[in-house]
Structure 1
Amino acid sequence: MPDYKEMYLTLFRATEQAINTLIAAQQQCEELYMNAPQGDLIVLSQSQDTEET
Structure 2
Amino acid sequence: MKKYVPIEDGDYYLTPEGYRCFTEQYHLKRGYCCESGCRHCPYGFDKNALKKK
TM-score between the two structures when normalised by the length of structure 2:
0.18
Bigger CA radius of gyration: 1
* Greater fraction helix: 1
* Greater fraction strand: 2
TM-score between the two structures when normalised by the length of structure 1:
0.18
Which structure has more relative contact order (CA 8 Å, sep 6+)? It is 2
